[in-house]
Structure 1
Amino acid sequence: MSKRKLSLTTNYPNEAKKDRLEVMSFPVRPPVSYKGEFPTYAQPAEITSYSIDHNRQVWFDDRELKYYYPPNGKDLYVGFDKFIKRDESIPEHIDTLLDALTNARQKASNPQLAQADIVTWRGIMTKIMCTPTTRNEPWMLRATRHKNTIYIEEQAMDEKKRNEADLPIKEQMQCYGGYRFETLCTLSKPPSKVQKGDPELLQRLNDSADTNIQYCVVVKTKLGKNSLIMGAEVDCSRGNKKQFHTHTKAYVLLLLF
């Protein structure tokens, strides 16, 4: 169980500390400028995994791991009135990822396994890699170097917050449909243990979604000369825990950005 305290503010205690931060921007050139040989990308290896419950408590186990099971319903808007969405106004930074790495180092026979040149979320790497072709989506990142490791997290931009807060109800329901689809396609136990008439099959027909609940994996790879550790949410496992899938991308795409 995590003992790291949740950060409730991103304000700096004084302006002097803020002034020491270096702000840099990088120009985005035409896509043709990025043509060339792709750097060597090593096969990622899972370091650890962890669960986050409905209270956003971190647990270093598989309690929130879900398993894929073909849907027996198709209404993606059932339960919209009960939808529980994580409060993203509370900054969590990369705390849960750091918790997982700390726990992994304590248990590993080789502590170097949980160390890398860069530690971040898979989604941030996706955002960076897609920037040349998605120029209408501004982003801002924070990078901190500590003991030769660069830790990267995203700084939420006011423009993005306003856009998300002002979504029409129709678009809110469309977003909910993606989470609801996950509910309809997953169970809390492997398919081999599901019997005909299992109560969970009936229950999920009316279940809503709670985005506080997550199951995450942490993998280590190498991109060019840089070692990289990424954390990422995984929606479900297809029987074998190593064969993860999500409703938007397969695990193999998670590893390839």
Structure 2
Amino acid sequence: MEQIGVSPKSYDAQFPSFACPTPIGEYTINEERKIEIGRAKARYLYSRLIDEKGLRLDLSDGFATFQPKDSDQKLNALLAWICTQSPSGGRLKQCLHETDFVCWRGLLTKISATPFSQNDDWSFIARKAKGVIFLLEQETEAQALRKAKMSPRDHLMTYWGFKFEQYTSTRDIDGVPSTSEPVTQNEEFGVVVKTKLSTPNGPIRLVYSGEVDCIDENGDLVELKTQRQALEGGFWRQKSMKWWLQSFLLGIKQIVVGFRDDEGYVHRIQVSPVVVNDLPRKGQWQGNICFNFLATVLGKVKTLLENENSSEPSCTITYDPTKRSVTFEKNLVEDFFNTDFRHHFSLEPPPP
């Protein structure tokens, strides 16, 4: 078992080499949670509301009919996309551009934020198959407890962001938002990117995917956010960091922000009130520290698994806020490769 600390000072070195994320795939997920390759069913930014005077968008409208996503999605959508990139029996690492890691963008965001979000616990498992390490976040006991203790107000405020997406995006490039239908999380537009990151143990290649809210009339990716009142005060401590990480990891340059009041009404919408690349200059955090920490964690995972003799070596990585340390432990983790994926790439049956 190995451990590392999370003190920002320990990672305050030059920004590690990080290649600009290059898109290698796009897909949409329909209501049945099936993927369709391409962006034909992506949503488009409804720009007519930007800078409009006298706005009063009710973010609570339709909350009673909200359709949340099943939380136990694992890597299934991403595994389904990978299967479309290779004929049955093809070489897994080759179809994934010789990558070392595959995961969701959200996990990378969470890990990277740790030196400045030291109270946020997390855990993920790593499983290596045919030279590729797959990472899957696990819900911790503390996270499950916090979710169980969410108040009705907490649930409502979580919904506000999804309702804002409905107000500001359309199914057709020349269409208008359909704000009377139920808001659903079951439909998504995802982008898959590849990149390369230098680590203390040598360079690593990553392929990861993240949900994108919509695209603009030029076809560029757009992130939609809501913010109380203005970009000031506490925003610059942690929230700005998470906005930056989410967008930077996918190469998103444009953030559209809806400024709301405490009752959940948006009165003003702006495009990129701050440029994504400017967020680190104003935030009370440092991007180089975030990425040096990420590089250290991923580098250790790769080293831990690369010399194993088993067909699918695995480990668990956990951050404990009470100890301010990350633990790396070799063990037999959950098999998160579904049957279709195993058959497609001729993987051995999972260990008993």
Aligned partner of 1:120 among 74, 81, 103:
103
Whether contact under 8 Å (2:123, 2:137) holds in the other structure is yes
Write the distance in 1 (CA, Å) between the matches of 2:85 and 2:166: 30
Report the equivalent of 1:177: 160
Aligned partner of 1:213 among 154, 164, 187:
187
Whether contact under 8 Å (1:219, 1:230) holds in the other structure is yes
One-letter identity of the residue aligned with 2:188 = Q
Aligned partner of 2:57 among 64, 74, 77:
74
Q: TM-score, normalised by structure 1?
A: 0.78
Superposed, which structure 2 residues align to 1:1-257 within 5 Å?
Answer: 24=1, 26-70=3-47, 71=49, 74-88=57-71, 91-106=72-87, 111-112=94-95, 114-190=97-173, 193-194=174-175, 200-201=176-177, 203-204=178-179, 206-224=180-198, 225-241=203-219, 243-248=220-225, 249=243, 252-255=247-250
Whether contact under 8 Å (1:47, 1:113) holds in the other structure is no
CA apart distance, 1:161: 1.9
Secondary structure (helix, strand or coil) at the match of 1:246 reads strand
Alpha-carbon distance change, 166 to 234 in structure 1, aligned in 2, over 3 angstroms: same
CA apart distance, 1:113: 5.1
Alpha-carbon distance change, 82 to 119 in structure 1, aligned in 2, over 3 angstroms: same
CA apart distance, 1:167: 1.0
The structure whose residues are more often strand, as a share, is: 2
Write the distance in 2 (CA, Å) between the matches of 1:207 and 1:76: 14
Q: How many residues align?
A: 221
Q: TM-score, normalised by structure 2?
A: 0.58
Alpha-carbon distance change, 75 to 25 in structure 1, aligned in 2, over 3 angstroms: farther
Write the distance in 1 (CA, Å) between the matches of 2:85 and 2:221: 20
Whether contact under 8 Å (1:78, 1:207) holds in the other structure is no
Alpha-carbon distance change, 255 to 57 in structure 1, aligned in 2, over 3 angstroms: closer
- For structure 2, list consecutive stretches of 5 or more residues without a partner in the other structure: 50-54, 226-242, 252-290, 292-352
Higher deviation after alignment, 141-150 or 57-66: 57-66
- For structure 1, list consecutive stretches of 5 or more residues without a partner in the other structure: 1-23, 195-199
CA apart distance, 1:115: 3.5
RMSD: 2.5
